[in-house]
């Protein structure tokens, strides 16, 4: 089966299931065309997932597609962007129809869930590699960046941390219980915090999505902002399934495992006090920005270089 | 060496050598930010190159980078777009510093030549795969598409065809002569026809870049436009080095080999007559659009399905 047949059969339905009014031309020409409203800026990011590195070999194609699109869309969430469309660069060892059918189905589900229209792509033969570039928009000048954290800002995170990392122990479990299934669901079907990110425009002083672990990703905010942070380990938001399954390992997983795709957000105390409860309730205050360097903990432990970000199934580079 | 060190050392200089006034944020945050002028549309395309498929194993990293960026930029040329920026998703088996240095150098040269600023990227570990997404702009509604060819339009091509395809025979030649070196140069350093594409806004009824061979790519115009074409084989623009090196194979190479990244352009006779000589001189009329189906030749040969596009070092999908 040729490249064009492949694309038509499995990806055209994804493009057709939902377009976007700003996507003027998608698939089938040399380029796609997007109209960016005059009061908006284009926001974009590319994310690559390699079999055996970012997801296990023989991983279900539905999950592979969902996770790849979620990982990319999470970068839009971190900028406070509204999703518009994406491109898919898919390298495949063979045109396995079962795999393509499952991948197309997972991609369609994720695209619909995240509000992203398929704009274009490229299909090539080779070891399984998925590069997705997502496009979103923000009102001009309102994109959330890593560089704005100020001394005394609160450090907050969304949701609970460590769940997807803990799930790695259960990927091959024959009969996972309720707790294990809850953790696995976070690994297989991560939900980028798109609406929360948009709600934080004009509120967050800095924002990043947690894809490499809290310490590593908060570290990027600190480095770009030229500040430090002190965290209270007891405030880390840990789910009940994580506490029950991981026990004493839970805080370490929350600090250093990726794949949850939650947001780490800094916000001034003044703006925090004015935030609607519906947004506050989605964030947990875990510490405070200070004039130091790197991440410290209230009990005095120093993690200047920090534990490395979670390395998936191998090294990340 | 970690992902971030890699990016900093070898790709930050590429981003720093030239920015673009519309690229408001590049590298180092969750997303890049591009401002699209209010009278312009965003035009974008992604292109993937896999080692051993699209370029030879152990190919020089400078050439690898140049060819990858040229292949992607050629899609901007085909839309008549003005280049703005690009992202690089690079999957590498190992952080080989010599390779990275050469790749970064080739990338910087090509980016400068084509007028593309590095906006962002992702570096992962795995088999050598390069996905590049290019961004350009066109005045609103003026993008050149494949779908507008009309019966009686002239079929034209830029430059000469078949040179890069012929060069494959000489990739390992220890002491190539002048002709072989001329062909090799077209393979190693393809030049996307960006200025020509821009000059054809409002002139070309349809346009495509020739990356899979004239027959295959003209076939896309015909299919999308619902027309056929009759070509005059004797009018195919063949370079002297190609004629001398490939002899009787020259026309077949011009019809079916890719990698030249010339443009195939249809234009009405009325507009052709009005075209400035400086543009006309860059195009060769090779045939005419008609109400048939597929590509035919004046001597009566029918190529309904056409010879397959050139398959590089293996299958293209």
Per residue in A52-103, pLDDT (tens digit) is 988 999 999 999 999 999 999 999 999 999 999 999 999 999 888 899 999 9
Residues B108 and B183 in one domain: no
Last residue of a domain, one of B104, B139, B174: B139
Q: Give the mutation candidate from A29, A37, A127 for the B interface (greatest B CB count, under 10 A).
A: A29
Mean pLDDT of A107-131: 94
Residues of A in contact with B35 (CB under 8 A): 41-42, 140
Distance from CA of B244 to the nearest CA of A (A): 33
Residue-level pLDDT at A97: 87
DSSP state of B248: G
Residues B54 and B178 in one domain: no
Of B81, B126, B135, the CB nearest to A127: B126
Residue-level pLDDT at A45: 97
Mean pLDDT of A205-209: 98
Residue-level pLDDT at A15: 84
Verify whether the Cβ–Cβ distance A34 to B48 is below 8 Å: no
Q: How far apart are the first and last CA of chain A?
A: 33
Residue-level pLDDT at B28: 84
Range of the domain at B49: 3-139
Here the CATH number for the domain that contains residue B266 is: 3.90.650.10
Average pLDDT, rounded, for chain B: 91
* CA-based nearest residue in chain B for residue A39: B38
Mean pLDDT of A218-234: 96
Residues B172 and B294 in one domain: yes
Residue B28 within a domain: yes
Verify whether the Cβ–Cβ distance B35 to A140 is below 8 Å: yes
Residue-level pLDDT at B27: 86
Residues of A in contact with B6 (CB under 8 A): 317
Residue B129 within a domain: yes
Last residue of a domain, one of B139, B165, B181: B139
Residue A259 within a domain: yes
Domain count, chain B: 2
Mean pLDDT of A298-305: 62
Residue B89 within a domain: yes
Of B38, B89, B209, the CB nearest to A46: B89
Verify whether the Cβ–Cβ distance B24 to A38 is below 8 Å: no
Mean pLDDT of A157-167: 97
Distance between CA atoms of residues A44 and A34, nearest Å: 12
Residues A194 and A283 in one domain: yes
Query: For a pLDDT cut of 70, what percent of chain B falls above it?
Result: 92
Mean pLDDT of A212-232: 96
**pLDDT band at residue A309, thresholds of 50, 70 and 90?**
very low
Check whether A4 has a pLDDT greater than 70: no
Verify whether the Cβ–Cβ distance B317 to A89 is below 8 Å: no
Residues B127 and B159 in one domain: no
Residue-level pLDDT at B199: 97
Distance of CA B49 to CAs A95, A232, B57, B68, B130, Å?
Answer: 17, 47, 12, 6, 5
Check whether A1 has a pLDDT greater than 80: no
pTM for the full model?
A: 0.91
Of B53, B131, B315, the CB nearest to A131: B131
Residues B158 and B126 in one domain: no
Distance between CA atoms of residues B96 and B101, nearest Å: 9
Q: β-strands B302-303, B263-267: how paired? A: unpaired
Residue A167 within a domain: yes
Residues of B in contact with A6 (CB under 8 A): 317
Residue B44 within a domain: yes
Residues B210 and B269 in one domain: yes
* Contact (CB, 8 A) for A36 and A21: no
* CA-based nearest residue in chain A for residue B47: A122
Distance between CA atoms of residues B153 and B269, nearest Å: 6
Residues A58 and A190 in one domain: no
Over residues B50-109, the pLDDT tens digits come to 999 889 999 999 999 999 999 999 999 999 999 999 999 999 998 888 999 999 999 999
Q: What three-state secondary structure class fits B208? A: strand
Residues A119 and A165 in one domain: no
Over residues A243-267, the pLDDT tens digits come to 999 999 999 999 999 899 999 999 9
Over residues B138-196, the pLDDT tens digits come to 999 999 999 999 999 999 999 999 999 999 999 999 999 999 999 999 999 999 999 99
Over residues A90-104, the pLDDT tens digits come to 999 988 889 999 999
Going through chain A in order, the beta strands assigned E by DSSP cover: 23-25, 32-34, 40-50, 82-92, 117-125, 129-139, 154-158, 204-209, 228-231, 263-267, 283-290, 294-297, 302-303
Last residue of a domain, one of A105, A139, A173: A139
* CA-based nearest residue in chain A for residue B93: A317
Task: Please report how the helices B61-79 and B178-188 are oriented relative to each other, as an axis angle in degrees rounded to 10.
Answer: 70
Mean pLDDT of B231-236: 95
Q: Which residues have C-beta within 8 Å of that of residue B164, sequence separation ≥ 6?
A: B183, B186, B187, B190, B257, B258, B259, B260, B261
Residue-level pLDDT at B316: 32
Residue-level pLDDT at B312: 35
Residues A135 and A158 in one domain: no
* CA-based nearest residue in chain B for residue A143: B33
Residue B308 within a domain: no
Over residues B248-284, the pLDDT tens digits come to 999 999 999 989 999 999 999 999 999 999 999 999 9
Residues A11 and A108 in one domain: yes
Residues A103 and A198 in one domain: no
């Amino acid at each position: 089966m040729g490249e064009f047949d492949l694309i038509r059969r499995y990806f055209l339905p994804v493009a057709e299931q939902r377009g976007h009014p700003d996507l003027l031309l998608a698939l089938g020409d040399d380029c796609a065309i997007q109209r960016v409203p005059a009061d908006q800026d284009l926001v974009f990011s590319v994310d690559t997932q390699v079999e055996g590195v970012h997801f296990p070999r023989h991983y279900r194609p539905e999950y592979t597609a969902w996770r790849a699109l979620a990982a990319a869309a999470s970068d839009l969430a971190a900028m406070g962007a509204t999703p518009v469309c994406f491109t898919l660069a898919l390298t495949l060892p063979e045109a396995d129809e079962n795999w393509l059918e499952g991948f197309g189905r997972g991609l369609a589900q994720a695209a619909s869930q995240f509000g992203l229209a398929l704009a274009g792509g490229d299909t090539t033969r080779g070891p399984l590699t998925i590069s997705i570039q997502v496009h979103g928009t923000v009102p001009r000048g309102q994109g959330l960046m890593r560089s704005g954290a100020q001394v005394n800002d609160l450090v907050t995170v969304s949701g609970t941390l460590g769940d997807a990392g803990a799930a790695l122990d259960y990927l091959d479990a024959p009969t996972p219980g309720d707790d294990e299934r809850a953790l696995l669901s976070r690994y297989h079907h991560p939900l980028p915090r798109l609406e929360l990110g948009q709600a934080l425009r004009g509120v967050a002083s800095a924002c990043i999505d947690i894809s490499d672990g809290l310490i590593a990703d908060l570290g990027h905010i600190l480095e770009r902002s030229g500040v430090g942070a002190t965290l209270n380990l007891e405030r880390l938001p840990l789910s009940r399934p994580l506490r029950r399954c991981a026990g004493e390992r839970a805080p370490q997983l929350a600090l250093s495992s990726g794949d949850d795709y939650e947001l780490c957000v800094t916000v001034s105390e003044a703006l925090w006090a004015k935030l609607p409860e519906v947004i506050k309730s989605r964030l947990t205050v875990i510490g405070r920005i200070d004039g130091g360097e790197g991440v410290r903990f209230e009990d005095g432990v120093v993690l200047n270089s920090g534990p490395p970000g979670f390395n998936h199934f191998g090294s990340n580079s």
